[in-house]
């Protein structure tokens, strides 16, 4: 059991990292031949950095689009960020001060995470337009995340898991030694689903996370008249 999960851990992490790097490399090397920033487009690099920050941290465009989707989506993502940071304690020893500090917040975030996801799923099921555009994978993705969150919360609130042992197991894996993992059902489910999530990340719509940084309508500087912008393949047509 422990060996199986150790193998899954390494495999999933490897696929996640390699797959993501591969994908990001494709985004980075594909040229953007024309200037296509969408208004309001900043005219300076600093302006673009601020715009990207607002977009990534506060979901500025989504805020303009739909308050419900924005509220639920932001609650989910912010909660997820806190929960992920909270999990750093399983990989650090001694636990960093700020990670220790956010532990209680991370716990509440687990609950708001679940709320956000449920709200998003309700929207996907109940709003006619959103139901129309949803594919089976859209629903399954939400189900997967809900199961991860629920199994995680169960370990805290229902079937207590020996988290010290879990930490030892993962600290061991970080040094390529395989210890023993407590064989609790919620833990096994939780870890297995996280591995699934890691594996599908580089092949699915979860690529919106790296993708947003490469979106030309958001990351381009609006200075086409001041500076000539020429991509490699477009330059060739001039000879």
Partner 1 sequence: MADITAPAYRIIPIIPALKPGAMEGKGPFVAGDKINEAIGFPAHLVDDWHDKAIEKMGELLSKYRSLRVFMDACVHCGACSDKCHYFIGTQDPKNMPVARQDLFRSVYRRYFTLPGKLFPKLVGARDLTREVLDEWYNYFHQCSECRRCSVFCPYGIDTAEVTMAAREILDSVGYGQKYSNEIIGKVHKIGNNLGLPPAALINTLEGLEEDVKEDTGFDVRFPIDVKGAEVLLITPSADFFAEPHIDSLIGYAKVFHATGTSWTLSSMSSEAGNFGMFIGNYDQLRKIALRIREAALELGVRRIVIGECGHAWRVAYSFLNTLTGAGDGADANDRFAQMLQKQLDHRYKQPSHICEFTWDMIEDERLSFDKSKNDQHIITFHDSCNVARGSGMGNLPGGQFEIPRNIIRAVANHFVEMAPNTTREQTFCCGGGGGLLTDDLLELRIKGALPRMEVLQQVVDEQGVNFMATICAICKAQFTKVMPVYGFDRRMVGGVHQLVSNAIVLGKNK
- For 24, other C-beta atoms within 10 Å of its C-beta total 16
Structure tokens of 184?
């609790």
CB closer to partner 1, 2 vs 66: 66
Q: How far is the CB of 193 from partner 1 (least distance, A)?
A: 17
Footprint of partner 1 (CB under 8 A)? 23, 26-27, 30-36, 38-43, 47, 55, 59, 61-62, 64-66, 69, 73, 123, 127-130, 132-138, 140, 200, 203-205, 207-208, 211-212, 214-218, 222-230, 233-234, 237-238
Structure tokens of 155?
């370990």
CB closer to partner 1, 111 vs 127: 127
Q: How far is the CB of 119 from partner 1 (least distance, A)?
A: 12
Alpha helices (runs of H) in 30-102, residue ranges in sequence order? 45-58, 60-65, 67-86, 97-101
Q: How far is the CB of 213 from partner 1 (least distance, A)?
A: 9
Q: Report how far residue 35's alpha carbon sits from residue 19's, in angstroms, rounded to the nearest whole number.
A: 29
Structure tokens of 99?
């990670």
CB closer to partner 1, 32 vs 188: 32
Q: Report how far residue 58's alpha carbon sits from residue 56's, in angstroms, rounded to the nearest whole number.
A: 6
| Three-state SS at 78 | helix
Q: How far is the CB of 177 from partner 1 (least distance, A)?
A: 33
CB closer to partner 1, 104 vs 211: 211
């Amino acid at each position: 059991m422990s060996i199986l999960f150790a193998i899954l851990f390494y495999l999933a992490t490897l696929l996640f990292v390699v797959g993501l790097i591969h994908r990001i490399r494709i985004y980075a090397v594909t040229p953007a031949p024309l200037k296509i920033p969408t208004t309001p487009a900043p005219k300076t690099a600093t302006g673009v950095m601020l715009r990207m920050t607002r977009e990534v941290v506060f979901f500025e465009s989504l805020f303009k689009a739909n308050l419900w989707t924005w509220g639920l989506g932001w609650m989910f993502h912010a909660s997820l960020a806190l929960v992920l940071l909270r999990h750093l304690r399983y990989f650090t020893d001694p636990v960093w001060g700020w990670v220790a500090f956010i532990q209680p917040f991370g716990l509440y975030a687990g609950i708001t995470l679940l709320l956000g996801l449920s709200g998003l799923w309700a929207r996907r099921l109940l709003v006619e337009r959103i139901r129309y555009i949803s594919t089976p994978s859209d629903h399954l993705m939400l189900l997967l995340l809900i199961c991860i969150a629920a199994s995680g919360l169960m370990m805290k609130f229902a079937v207590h898991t020996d988290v010290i042992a879990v930490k030892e197991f993962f600290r061991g894996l970080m040094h390529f030694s395989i210890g023993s993992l407590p064989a609790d059902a919620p833990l096994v489910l939780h870890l297995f689903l996280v591995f699934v999530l890691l594996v599908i990340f580089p092949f699915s719509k979860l690529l919106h996370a790296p993708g947003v940084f490469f979106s030309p309508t958001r990351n381009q500087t609006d200075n086409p008249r001041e500076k000539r912008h020429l991509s490699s393949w477009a330059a060739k047509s001039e000879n």
